[in-house]
Protein backbone atom coordinates (compact mmCIF):
# COMPACT_ATOMS: atom_id res chain seq x y z
CA UNK A 1 0.00 0.00 0.00
CA UNK A 2 1.20 3.43 -0.87
CA UNK A 3 1.83 5.76 2.03
CA UNK A 4 -0.47 8.76 2.12
CA UNK A 5 2.43 10.85 3.27
CA UNK A 6 4.22 10.31 -0.01
CA UNK A 7 3.63 12.58 -3.01
CA UNK A 8 4.07 10.93 -6.35
CA UNK A 9 4.82 13.11 -9.35
CA UNK A 10 2.60 12.30 -12.27
CA UNK A 11 4.71 14.29 -14.67
CA UNK A 12 7.06 17.23 -14.73
CA UNK A 13 6.67 20.67 -16.21
CA UNK A 14 10.30 21.50 -16.54
CA UNK A 15 11.70 21.32 -13.06
CA UNK A 16 8.25 21.42 -11.49
CA UNK A 17 6.82 18.05 -10.55
CA UNK A 18 3.06 17.82 -10.97
CA UNK A 19 1.74 15.54 -8.30
CA UNK A 20 -1.59 13.79 -8.10
CA UNK A 21 -2.78 16.32 -5.50
CA UNK A 22 -2.03 19.15 -7.90
CA UNK A 23 -3.80 17.40 -10.73
CA UNK A 24 -6.87 16.71 -8.59
CA UNK A 25 -6.77 20.32 -7.40
CA UNK A 26 -6.79 21.46 -11.01
CA UNK A 27 -9.73 19.21 -11.69
CA UNK A 28 -11.55 20.57 -8.69
CA UNK A 29 -10.73 24.12 -9.79
CA UNK A 30 -12.02 23.40 -13.26
CA UNK A 31 -15.13 21.78 -11.87
CA UNK A 32 -15.90 24.62 -9.47
CA UNK A 33 -15.06 27.40 -11.93
CA UNK A 34 -16.98 25.82 -14.79
CA UNK A 35 -19.88 24.98 -12.52
CA UNK A 36 -19.94 28.53 -11.17
CA UNK A 37 -19.80 29.97 -14.66
CA UNK A 38 -22.56 27.72 -15.92
CA UNK A 39 -24.73 28.26 -12.87
CA UNK A 40 -24.42 32.03 -12.89
CA UNK A 41 -24.87 32.64 -16.59
CA UNK A 42 -28.58 33.31 -16.40
CA UNK A 43 -29.15 35.02 -13.10
CA UNK A 44 -32.37 36.98 -12.90
CA UNK A 45 -34.55 38.77 -10.39
CA UNK A 46 -36.97 35.86 -10.63
CA UNK A 47 -34.70 33.10 -9.33
CA UNK A 48 -34.80 29.50 -10.54
CA UNK A 49 -34.35 26.63 -8.09
CA UNK A 50 -30.64 26.47 -8.91
CA UNK A 51 -30.25 30.22 -8.44
CA UNK A 52 -32.15 30.01 -5.18
CA UNK A 53 -29.73 27.32 -3.99
CA UNK A 54 -26.73 29.42 -5.02
CA UNK A 55 -28.16 32.47 -3.24
CA UNK A 56 -28.82 30.33 -0.19
CA UNK A 57 -25.15 29.30 -0.17
CA UNK A 58 -24.00 32.92 -0.47
CA UNK A 59 -26.37 34.10 2.21
CA UNK A 60 -25.29 31.29 4.51
CA UNK A 61 -21.63 32.24 4.06
CA UNK A 62 -22.53 35.91 4.64
CA UNK A 63 -24.45 34.98 7.76
CA UNK A 64 -21.51 32.98 9.10
CA UNK A 65 -19.12 35.86 8.40
CA UNK A 66 -21.42 38.32 10.16
CA UNK A 67 -21.88 36.06 13.16
CA UNK A 68 -18.24 35.06 13.49
CA UNK A 69 -16.33 38.15 12.41
CA UNK A 70 -18.88 40.82 13.39
CA UNK A 71 -18.12 42.50 10.06
CA UNK A 72 -19.77 43.07 6.72
CA UNK A 73 -19.16 40.05 4.46
CA UNK A 74 -18.19 41.49 1.04
CA UNK A 75 -14.39 41.81 1.59
CA UNK A 76 -14.09 38.29 3.05
CA UNK A 77 -16.85 36.40 1.25
CA UNK A 78 -14.79 35.17 -1.69
CA UNK A 79 -11.82 34.01 0.39
CA UNK A 80 -13.76 32.32 3.19
CA UNK A 81 -16.37 30.87 0.89
CA UNK A 82 -13.79 29.53 -1.55
CA UNK A 83 -11.76 27.98 1.27
CA UNK A 84 -14.83 26.18 2.50
CA UNK A 85 -15.96 25.13 -0.98
CA UNK A 86 -12.50 23.87 -2.00
CA UNK A 87 -11.84 21.95 1.19
CA UNK A 88 -15.36 20.52 1.15
CA UNK A 89 -15.11 19.34 -2.46
CA UNK A 90 -11.53 18.16 -1.97
CA UNK A 91 -12.47 16.14 1.09
CA UNK A 92 -15.45 14.62 -0.69
CA UNK A 93 -13.44 13.88 -3.83
CA UNK A 94 -12.54 10.61 -2.16
CA UNK A 95 -15.99 9.44 -3.29
CA UNK A 96 -14.61 9.22 -6.80
CA UNK A 97 -12.92 5.85 -7.17
CA UNK A 98 -9.16 6.10 -7.52
CA UNK A 99 -9.05 9.75 -6.47
CA UNK A 100 -7.20 10.71 -3.34
CA UNK A 101 -8.24 14.00 -1.70
CA UNK A 102 -5.64 16.73 -2.20
CA UNK A 103 -6.21 17.73 1.43
CA UNK A 104 -4.84 14.38 2.46
CA UNK A 105 -1.46 15.69 1.36
CA UNK A 106 0.59 17.96 3.52
CA UNK A 107 1.46 20.40 0.75
CA UNK A 108 -2.20 21.24 0.00
CA UNK A 109 -3.05 21.79 3.67
CA UNK A 110 0.12 23.80 4.09
CA UNK A 111 -0.84 25.90 1.10
CA UNK A 112 -4.28 26.55 2.60
CA UNK A 113 -2.78 27.42 5.97
CA UNK A 114 -0.24 29.64 4.28
CA UNK A 115 -3.03 31.48 2.46
CA UNK A 116 -4.86 32.00 5.74
CA UNK A 117 -1.64 33.29 7.30
CA UNK A 118 -1.19 35.72 4.43
CA UNK A 119 -4.85 36.72 4.54
CA UNK A 120 -4.63 37.52 8.25
CA UNK A 121 -1.68 39.80 7.57
CA UNK A 122 -3.33 41.34 4.49
CA UNK A 123 -6.69 42.08 6.12
CA UNK A 124 -4.96 43.20 9.34
CA UNK A 125 -2.83 45.71 7.49
CA UNK A 126 -5.80 46.85 5.39
CA UNK A 127 -7.84 47.46 8.53
CA UNK A 128 -5.24 49.15 10.74
CA UNK A 129 -2.25 49.87 8.54
CA UNK A 130 1.16 48.30 8.93
CA UNK A 131 1.75 49.96 12.28
CA UNK A 132 -1.65 49.01 13.55
CA UNK A 133 -1.20 45.43 12.53
CA UNK A 134 2.32 45.16 13.98
CA UNK A 135 1.04 46.75 17.16
CA UNK A 136 -1.27 43.80 17.59
CA UNK A 137 1.79 41.72 18.46
CA UNK A 138 2.49 44.06 21.39
CA UNK A 139 -0.98 43.52 22.81
CA UNK A 140 -1.59 43.50 25.72
CA UNK A 141 2.10 44.13 26.54
CA UNK A 142 5.31 44.42 24.53
CA UNK A 143 6.55 41.49 26.56
CA UNK A 144 4.01 39.40 24.63
CA UNK A 145 5.58 40.12 21.24
CA UNK A 146 7.52 36.83 21.06
CA UNK A 147 4.58 34.81 22.27
CA UNK A 148 2.17 36.52 19.88
CA UNK A 149 4.53 35.97 17.00
CA UNK A 150 4.91 32.31 17.89
CA UNK A 151 1.15 32.09 18.32
CA UNK A 152 0.56 33.42 14.81
CA UNK A 153 2.83 30.71 13.47
CA UNK A 154 1.56 27.90 15.61
CA UNK A 155 -2.09 28.58 14.95
CA UNK A 156 -1.30 28.45 11.25
CA UNK A 157 0.54 25.22 11.85
CA UNK A 158 -2.41 23.95 13.86
CA UNK A 159 -4.68 24.62 10.91
CA UNK A 160 -2.35 22.62 8.70
CA UNK A 161 -2.00 19.75 11.10
CA UNK A 162 -5.70 19.58 12.01
CA UNK A 163 -6.89 19.35 8.45
CA UNK A 164 -4.10 17.11 7.33
CA UNK A 165 -4.45 14.79 10.29
CA UNK A 166 -8.19 14.34 9.97
CA UNK A 167 -8.29 13.81 6.22
CA UNK A 168 -5.13 11.80 5.99
CA UNK A 169 -6.19 9.59 8.88
CA UNK A 170 -9.52 8.94 7.23
CA UNK A 171 -7.92 7.95 3.99
CA UNK A 172 -5.34 5.89 5.83
CA UNK A 173 -7.91 4.02 7.92
CA UNK A 174 -10.10 3.32 4.88
CA UNK A 175 -7.07 2.04 3.00
CA UNK A 176 -6.10 -0.26 5.86
CA UNK A 177 -9.64 -1.56 6.36
CA UNK A 178 -10.05 -2.03 2.63
CA UNK A 179 -6.87 -4.02 2.39
CA UNK A 180 -7.78 -6.16 5.41
CA UNK A 181 -11.58 -6.66 5.28
CA UNK A 182 -12.73 -6.40 1.73
CA UNK A 183 -14.73 -4.29 -0.68
CA UNK A 184 -17.90 -3.21 1.19
CA UNK A 185 -16.60 -3.09 4.77
CA UNK A 186 -15.09 0.43 4.58
CA UNK A 187 -18.41 1.98 3.47
CA UNK A 188 -19.46 3.10 7.00
CA UNK A 189 -15.99 4.50 7.50
CA UNK A 190 -16.27 6.32 4.19
CA UNK A 191 -19.58 7.83 5.32
CA UNK A 192 -17.92 8.90 8.55
CA UNK A 193 -15.06 10.28 6.48
CA UNK A 194 -17.53 12.37 4.48
CA UNK A 195 -18.94 13.78 7.70
CA UNK A 196 -15.46 14.45 8.96
CA UNK A 197 -14.55 16.13 5.70
CA UNK A 198 -17.57 18.45 5.86
CA UNK A 199 -16.92 19.28 9.49
CA UNK A 200 -13.23 19.93 8.83
CA UNK A 201 -14.08 22.23 5.95
CA UNK A 202 -16.42 24.16 8.22
CA UNK A 203 -13.86 24.23 11.06
CA UNK A 204 -11.10 25.43 8.77
CA UNK A 205 -13.29 28.23 7.39
CA UNK A 206 -14.50 29.24 10.83
CA UNK A 207 -10.96 29.30 12.24
CA UNK A 208 -9.81 31.37 9.30
CA UNK A 209 -12.63 33.83 10.04
CA UNK A 210 -11.70 33.90 13.72
CA UNK A 211 -8.02 34.59 12.98
CA UNK A 212 -8.84 37.31 10.46
CA UNK A 213 -11.44 38.85 12.77
CA UNK A 214 -8.90 38.87 15.61
CA UNK A 215 -6.41 40.73 13.47
CA UNK A 216 -9.14 43.12 12.29
CA UNK A 217 -10.38 43.96 15.76
CA UNK A 218 -6.99 44.57 17.28
CA UNK A 219 -5.71 46.46 14.25
CA UNK A 220 -8.75 48.73 14.21
CA UNK A 221 -8.48 49.46 17.94
CA UNK A 222 -4.75 50.19 17.56
CA UNK A 223 -5.52 52.50 14.63
CA UNK A 224 -8.08 54.45 16.65
CA UNK A 225 -5.89 54.77 19.76
CA UNK A 226 -2.28 54.81 18.60
CA UNK A 227 0.17 54.16 21.41
Binding site for another protein (CB under 8 A): 5, 7, 15-19, 21-22, 25-26, 28-29, 32-33, 36-37, 39-40, 43-45, 47, 51, 54-55, 57-59, 62, 74, 77-79, 81-83, 85-86, 102, 105-108, 110-112, 114-115
Reduced to 3 states, what is the DSSP secondary structure of residue 140? coil
**Phi, psi of 79, deg, nearest 5:** -65, -50
Minimum CB separation of residue 125 from another protein in Å reads 17
Identify the sign of the CA torsion 218, 153, 8, 17.
positive
Shortest Å distance, C-beta 40 to another protein? 4
| Closest CB 212 distance from another protein, rounded Å | 14
| Distance from C-alpha of 23 to C-alpha of 104, rounded to nearest angstrom | 14
In the complex, the smallest distance separating the C-beta of residue 225 from another protein, rounded to whole angstroms, is 33
On whether the CB atoms of residues 208 and 119 are closer than 8 A, the answer is yes
Shortest distance in whole angstroms from residue 32 CB to another protein:
6
Query: Considering beta carbons, is residue 71 or 135 the nearer one to another protein?
Result: 71
Helices (DSSP H) in the chain: which residue ranges? 20-39, 49-69, 74-92, 106-135, 145-181, 187-224
Q: Which is nearer to another protein, 106 or 121 (CB)?
A: 106
Radius of gyration of the chain (CA): 20
Cβ closest to another protein, residue 48 vs residue 191: 48
State the minimum distance, in angstroms, from the CB of residue 29 to another protein.
5
Q: Smaller CB distance to another protein: residue 29 or 199?
A: 29
Nearest to 117 by CA among 32, 33, 196, 214: 214
Nearer to another protein, 51 or 221 (CB): 51
The dihedral of CA 174, 83, 118, 25: what is its sign?
positive
Nearer to another protein, 57 or 153 (CB): 57
Alpha-carbon gap, residue 110 to 4, rounded angstroms: 15
Amino acid sequence: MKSPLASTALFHLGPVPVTEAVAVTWAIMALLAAGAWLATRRLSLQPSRLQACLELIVETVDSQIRDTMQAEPPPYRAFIGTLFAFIFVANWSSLVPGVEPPTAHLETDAALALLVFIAVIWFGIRAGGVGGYLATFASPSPLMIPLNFIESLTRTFSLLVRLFGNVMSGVFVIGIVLSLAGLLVPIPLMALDLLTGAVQAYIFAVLAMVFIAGALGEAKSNKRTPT
